[in-house]
Amino acid sequence: MSETPRLYSHAIGVFDSGVGGLSVLRAVRAALPHEDLVYVADSGHAPYGDKSPQHITQRTLHVGQWLALNGVDAITIACNTATVVAAQALREQTHLPVVAIEPAIKPAVALTQSGAIGVLATQQTVQSSSVARLIAQHAQGVAVHLQACAGWVEQVEAGALDDVQTEALVRAHVTPLLEKGCDTLVLGCTHYPFLTPLLRRVAGPGVTLLDPAQAVARELVRRLGPRPARSTRGQTWFLSSGNLSQAQRVIGQLWGHAVAVAPLPE
Binding residues for ligand DGL, rule: CB under 6 A, are: 16-18, 20, 46-49, 79-81, 122, 125, 153, 189-191
CA–CA gap between residue 116 and residue 184 (Å, rounded)? 7
Q: Are 73 and 11 in contact (CB under 8 A)?
A: yes
Start-to-end CA span in the chain (Å): 17
Residue with CB nearest ligand DGL? 49
Least distance from ligand DGL to the Cβ atom of residue 212, Å: 10
Quick check: 52 and 85 in contact, CB under 8 A? no
Of the two residues 147 and 190, which places its CB atom closer to ligand DGL in the complex?
190
Nearer to ligand DGL (CB atom), residue 81 or residue 236: 81
Q: Which is nearer to ligand DGL, 203 or 213 (CB)?
A: 213
- Is 247 within 8 Å of 41 (Cβ atoms)? yes
Residue type, 230: R
Which of 46, 68, 79, 247 is flagged as catalytic? 79
Q: How far is the CB of 17 from ligand DGL (least distance, A)?
A: 3
In the set 28, 134, 189, 216, the catalytic residue is: 189
100 Cα distance to chain centroid: 9
CA distance 160 to 163: 6
**Residue 189 falls in the annotated catalytic set:** yes
* 149 flagged as catalytic: no
- Shortest distance in whole angstroms from residue 233 CB to ligand DGL: 27
- Backbone dihedral angles phi then psi of residue 248, each to the nearest 5 degrees: -65, -40
- Judge contact between 125 and 98, C-beta under 8 A: no
**Closest approach of Cβ 104 to ligand DGL, in Å?**
12
Based on CB atoms, which residue is closest to ligand DGL, 7 or 76? 76
**Active-site amino acid positions:** 79, 189
